[in-house]
Amino acid sequence: MKVLYCHKVRDPKEQECLASVDFELNEHLRLYGLRLLRKPDGAMFLYAPQAGHRRTATFSAPMAKRLTALAIEAYEAANDR
């Protein structure tokens, strides 16, 4: 599992969107356009894109935690540039 791309963004909505992140989960599966959000309390989490009012993907708690950690690491690396 690895980050393919992390692009910093700004979003004027209530929850701050920090970055758009693309992942390669394995050689068979890639996910594009996941959003790294910062909640008002400062916690960060990863959110899958939506198609209309439905999410295009959901993750188990352990998978969400791992993806979020990878996204935060990529976001911090992008901020160092």
Mind listing the pLDDT tens digit for each residue in 21-50? 999 999 999 999 999 998 888 899 999 988
HSE, CB side, 13 Å, CA atoms: give it for residue 33: 6
| Predicted structure pTM score | 0.86
Q: Which of 22, 23, 28, 64 is nearest to 44 (CA)?
A: 64
Which of 28, 9, 25 has its CA nearest to residue 79?
Answer: 9
Residue extents of the structural domains in the chain:
1-56
